[in-house]
Amino acid sequence: MYAYDQRDHAMLAQRTAQFRGQVARRLAGQLTEAEFRPLRLLNGLYLQLHAYMLRVAIPYGTLSALQMRGLAAVARSYDRGYGHFTTRQNIQFNWPKLDDVPRILDDLAGVEMHAIQTSGNTIRNVTADAYAGVAADEIEDPRIYAEIIRQWSTLHPEFTFLPRKFKIAVTGAPRDRAAVRVHDIGLQIRTNEAGDVGFAVIVGGGLGRTPVVGPLIREFLPKRDLLSYLEAILRVYNQLGRRDNKFKARIKILVQSTGIARFTEMVEEEWRRIAGGSLDLDPHEIARIAANFAPPPYDRLEPVDPGFEFKLAADPRFAQWCGTSLARHRQPGYAIVNVSLKPVDGVPGDVTAVQMEGLADLAERFSFSEIRATHWQNLVLPHVRLGDVHAVWLALATLGLATPNVGLASDVIACPGLDYCNLANARSISVAQAISRRFADLKRLNDIGDLRINISGCINACGHHHVGNIGLLGVDKKGEEYYQLTLGGSDDEDAALGDLVGPAFPYDAIVDAVETIVITYMDRREPGEGFLATYRRVGLAPFKERLYGAHQG
């Protein structure tokens, strides 16, 4: 875990004091809402349908047990006893009062957390692989670089009024668990022919109205040039990104309209001017940050734990949960434990204060006090001894957090939708709940296998519907909620955007339509073939036929 030093603490204290002053000026009428808006957005404070919403950053998805307790305290003292984990490793509180917000920020600063740049046209919270530091296939821990980028981008004087928001994701493994190809900048740690470790640089991916799988603009960037290269990209974007139309203001539009080759040339030209200067990353500085992410003091264990194997064989419910929840840890005898935040009929990503505290307890007892937030709106206990997994499962079950559906059809990603958001056309949460009920039968759920369903309540695509294996997009048809369906999307290393199936379905028919797609897949799949592979083999036609055939006769 990154531990704040004196300067980090001082900065947060100053920043909170500054925002307290801004809130006071707003409440005294010295700032108009138009003037206050960008200031509150720089501190993660949105004005939503019913109330303010505060978005707190969980940088690169890493949380300590103490921080989780801090979040629980905020939920209990200033909100309605819960928080909502998002797809970008943030947590949102939906009901804070404006004059409480400076106090909330003070409390968060006490546990080394903040809401800086979680909104606004700035460099947002930097995200990373939720399995960073523990994944068996990792080259290097992406959090080291995500933390370096977090510091560099915090209150960056040049890039605080960009044309539009700017999202950076870093992954350290060939398996992409950070969706780097659908970010404004995606960084993939890789090794070049000489054996040096650096980054592949992807620029101009993104979802929203104009979904784009980002192009690679640099095969290999040495580590020491990381910040100068990012600064060059941002400088080109800050000057040339469109400011006349917010729907065309993201960097992906600039990259597309300029052309990838010309855009890359401009970045490289600016980078050559500033490379090796004051942004040069000294190996000692990298080592200083890296020391924060050193592995915890693991026990030396056998790779197989007989007690764990026995319980696995003896208790099918435990085995079922293990089948979806565990991932391979790089340390022998340990497991990565995923915690589903998608109980049947629940709100995807919502966690109560009691659950947060329970998770903090579990992290302290069984996972070196560490918790991770994933971009699938779930949580992770990253270092659990195989011998402790059963105890963790029992405790999670008591907390209502042992749903065995991670990665399956009912592990739905959904934006807040019309229930909270003033941009939405349609509800997302209640559709997610209906899907989870429809696929509640565990035998069937497991028979269907890995399936990603994503729901966005509007074209801004916060539920990442374009990259869902099955994507649902809420649209408004003469005041009625309708949903468009896309198939075949993916946000991992073989990133793809889903294809539109056909006319949208009304609210009452959408869950049936999703089930029809699932049934069609199950009818068409070869033994062992996953949804994406089947779709890529058979194409849209069989799904179309089953969905619309009866009506189109």
Partner 1 sequence: MALIKDNALRPDAWVLVADDAELPESDPAIVSFARWRRDRARLARRNGPLGLRLGSDQPPEGVADDLAAFDLIALEFPKFTDGRAYSYARILRERYGFAGELRAVGNVLRDQLFFMRRCGFDAFEVGDDIDIGAWLEAFAEIEVIYQPAAGDTHALQALRTSLSPGPTRMRVTA
Q: Residues in the site for partner 1, rule: CB under 8 A? A: 7-8, 10-11, 14-15, 17-18, 21-22, 35, 38-39, 121, 151-163, 227, 235, 238-239, 243, 273-274, 278-282, 284-285, 288
Tokens, residue 114: 């903040």
What does the alpha-carbon distance between residue 462 and residue 417 come to, in Å, rounded to a whole number?
9
> CB under 8 Å to 197, separation ≥6 — which residues?
139, 140, 189, 190, 191, 223
Tokens, residue 524: 């068409």
Q: What Rg, from alpha-carbon coordinates, does the chain have? A: 23
Q: Do residues 151 and 59 make contact, with C-beta atoms less than 8 angstroms apart?
A: no
- Identify the bridge partners of residue 456 per DSSP, sorted by sequence position: 473
Q: How far is the CB of 159 from partner 1 (least distance, A)?
A: 7
| Residue (157 or 527) nearer to partner 1, CB | 157
**Residue 318, helix vs strand vs coil:** helix
| Residue (115 or 379) nearer to partner 1, CB | 115
Q: How far is the CB of 355 from partner 1 (least distance, A)?
A: 34
**Furthest-apart CA pair in the chain: how many Å?**
71
Q: How far is the CB of 25 from partner 1 (least distance, A)?
A: 9
Q: How far is the CB of 255 from partner 1 (least distance, A)?
A: 18
| Residue (94 or 122) nearer to partner 1, CB | 122
**Residue 379, helix vs strand vs coil:** strand
Q: Do residues 436 and 342 make contact, with C-beta atoms less than 8 angstroms apart?
A: yes
Do you know the residue count of the chain? 553
| Residue (288 or 477) nearer to partner 1, CB | 288
Q: How far is the CB of 290 from partner 1 (least distance, A)?
A: 13
Q: How far is the CB of 190 from partner 1 (least distance, A)?
A: 23
What does the alpha-carbon distance between residue 279 and residue 323 come to, in Å, rounded to a whole number?
45
Could you write out the DSSP letters of every residue in 448-505?
H-S--EEEESSTT-TT-GGGSSEEEEEEEETTEEEEEEEES-B-STT-BPPEE-SS-E
Q: How far is the CB of 113 from partner 1 (least distance, A)?
A: 17
Q: How far is the CB of 453 from partner 1 (least distance, A)?
A: 37
| Residue (93 or 159) nearer to partner 1, CB | 159
CA distances from residue 265 to 79, 108, 229, 255 in whole angstroms, order as listed: 49, 42, 12, 11
Q: Do residues 351 and 93 make contact, with C-beta atoms less than 8 angstroms apart?
A: no
Q: How far is the CB of 258 from partner 1 (least distance, A)?
A: 15
Q: Using a CB cutoff of 8 Å and minimum separation of 24, what contacts does 236-244 make?
A: 236/263, 236/266, 236/267, 236/270, 237/162, 237/163, 237/166, 238/158, 238/159, 238/162, 238/163, 240/266, 241/162, 241/163, 241/164, 242/163, 243/163
| Residue (8 or 499) nearer to partner 1, CB | 8
